[in-house]
Structure 1
Amino acid sequence: MIDVTDTELPLLPARDPFGHKGDYGRGLVVGGSLGMAGAPALSAMACLASGAGLVAVATPRCVLSTVAGYCPAYTTHPLADDGEQLVAEARTALDQLLSEADAAAMGPGIGRGDAINDLLERAWTESLPAVIDADGLNALAARRSFLGTPGGPRVLTPHAKEFARLRGQPLDNPNHDAQRLEAAAELARSLGGPETVVLLKGARTVVTNGHRYAVNSTGNPGMATGGVGDVLTGVILALLCQGMAAFDAARLAAHVHGLAGDLAAAKLGQLSVTAPALIEALPAAWRTVSS
């Protein structure tokens, strides 16, 4: 594999002075369930803070008002539920929303069950770029033997336990750089597709498509707190819907996400870093990499 860790980061082009919001992509976040309404909201807010022109959240009707209440800058769309999470009848409305988006994030707070597994298995075949996280990854793991080649670019963002479910076995040493790299690359290759990327989270996050890889150096232990992964999902979504290739989007997002964590820790101390604080630090992180 080719190591691009020390090469220049890919960057988005400067904004067109005559551009409008439609030029910077339509991102769709699919997630949420009873008790987990904050997850898709965090992803959507991070997506907006990372340059997406328009962001929508498709979420179970039972939590839509909660999701909508976090931020007035994204739109919300109700999907059929059983009072707690999505059901099979959500598929028609979801298909329509996916057809209108430039990229999607699937999984934050979405819950588990056969209906969720069915929806994620179908979404795997969609042509638009997508980042898959959290219970979206668990749904893919449950249907692993049935997954064909993805319909479009995919970025999977597992932590060690989600990675073990996808792979079918845990890492012998989840903190061993070489083992993490080889296992992540093997998973990326096994999932197929020319733009399937695995971003294996943790200290020194690994980003690989099975042919190239980068090891991220930003971030700190203060980021080991709830919702931080949802923020990363939103940053990746923003880059995908602005047209960045999957590997480049994952690599740049990992760097900026970790940098935002470092800036938040410098201001608050590692013990007090939270996912909302990370979102607040994203503008400064973006200024740093863009200057």
Structure 2
Amino acid sequence: MSNSPLPKLSPRQRASHKGDFGRVLIVGGSKGMAGAVALAGISSLRMGAGLVRLAIPEPIANLVASFEPSYMTVSLPTDDGVRGSIRAYHELVKEIEWADVVAIGPGLGQSKDLAQLVRWLFDRTEKPAIFDADALNMLSPLDLSARPAGPRILTPHPGELRRLAGKPLASRDEQIKAAQSIAAKLGVIVLVKGEGTAITDGQTTALNTTGNPGMATGGSGDALTGIIAALVGQKLSPLEAAILGAHLHGLAGDLAAAELGEISLIASDLPRFLPRAIQQYQRDTASPV
């Protein structure tokens, strides 16, 4: 396991503009799950993304837009009034052309139509893409015979990893070995959530040491997805973005728990405490004068 120093973000130049810090597209949301995609979008903004768009089903567009005025929303057609449809394909192609990085999964829901979209996005788009939650379930079990067209980060919890691998994974050691195998065969990054989150590209494996049990609450993974997407948009490699994203996500949770307690911690606290986590990380990694 690697204990390398944390990746560093480049200092921001005074003449910078929003296009310098990444255009993030997050595809997700469904009726009853509007908060998940909003959490991902807010977390991406708090992590420094220059521009964030949420591609969401039209019936929840106004609700999602109401959570945060700083991101943009794109309405996608539905067939059932609940979740996205294959008819969203042409709109998504345009949005992916705009984006520097794509994340798919928070609050997405599952259907045959969505499974086609997820599979197409995983196989065909050349843009870096993060797959989480329902997007992972619709990829399961993974086809390990063909590599995707672009960089991929998969962020499963142990149950999702078991479905991706298509076999039981009884211990943490088995989970990490399965993640390493998937990463090596497909050329992707796999981040396995849980105590001591493991991040691997099949050769290097890092274990995250931040985080606490208070983060075992709905929406925490959506925040992580947004954080990692923002870091990819800021030119970190997929492996670096996953390692640093897990660290900062856990550190934000630790800072929130120190003030609020583990029992009272909720997922929306994570983007709220993320600025403090970033500041602490910057202090800890600052070069000596």
Letter in 1 for 2:138: A
- Could you tell me which of 173, 188, 208 is aligned with 2:200? 208
Letter in 1 for 2:158: A
> Residue 272 of structure 1 aligns with which residue?
264
Distance 2:96 2:47 in 1: 20
Distance 1:110 1:12 in 2: 30
> Residue 53 of structure 1 aligns with which residue?
50
User: TM-score scaled by structure 1?
Assistant: 0.94
Distance 2:247 2:161 in 1: 20
Kindly indicate whether the alpha-carbon contact (under 8 Å) linking 2:228 and 2:242 is maintained by their aligned counterparts in 1.
yes
> Residue 287 of structure 2 aligns with which residue?
none
Q: Any runs of at least 4 consecutive aligned residues in structure 1 with deviations exceeding 4 A, and if so which?
A: none
Q: 1:206 to 1:146 in 2, by over 3 A?
A: closer
Matches within 5 A, 1:137-216: 137-141=136-140, 144-145=142-143, 148-173=146-171, 176=172, 178-190=173-185, 192-193=186-187, 196-216=188-208
> Residue 223 of structure 2 aligns with which residue?
231
Shift of 1:179: 2.6
Shift of 1:147: 7.1
Q: Residue 204 of structure 1 aligns to a residue in which SS?
A: coil
Distance 2:27 2:274 in 1: 22
Distance 2:21 2:157 in 1: 29
Kindly indicate whether the alpha-carbon contact (under 8 Å) linking 1:180 and 1:206 is maintained by their aligned counterparts in 2.
no
- Could you tell me which of 73, 78, 83 is aligned with 1:76? 73
Q: Deviations over 1:76-99 (max 9, x none)?
A: 000011200111101000111011
Q: Residue 99 of structure 1 aligns to a residue in which SS?
A: helix
Q: Residue 143 of structure 2 aligns to a residue in which SS?
A: helix
Q: Deviations over 1:186-237 (max 9, x none)?
A: 12123x13xx100000000000010101001000000000000000000000
> Residue 20 of structure 2 aligns with which residue?
23
Task: State the number of aligned residues.
Answer: 281
Matches within 5 A, 1:70-149: 70-82=67-79, 83-124=81-122, 125-141=124-140, 144-145=142-143, 148-149=146-147
Distance 2:224 2:111 in 1: 24
Letter in 1 for 2:156: P
Q: Residue 199 of structure 1 aligns to a residue in which SS?
A: strand
Kindly indicate whether the alpha-carbon contact (under 8 Å) linking 2:144 and 2:182 is maintained by their aligned counterparts in 1.
no
Letter in 1 for 2:120: R
Distance 1:255 1:51 in 2: 16
Kindly indicate whether the alpha-carbon contact (under 8 Å) linking 2:158 and 2:175 is maintained by their aligned counterparts in 1.
no
Shift of 1:242: 1.1
Matches within 5 A, 1:222-261: 222-261=214-253
Q: 1:146 to 1:215 in 2, by over 3 A?
A: closer
Kindly indicate whether the alpha-carbon contact (under 8 Å) linking 1:163 and 1:170 is maintained by their aligned counterparts in 2.
no
Consecutive unaligned residues of structure 1, counting only runs of 5 or more, are none
Structural RMSD (CA): 1.1
Q: Residue 35 of structure 1 aligns to a residue in which SS?
A: coil
Distance 2:109 2:125 in 1: 21
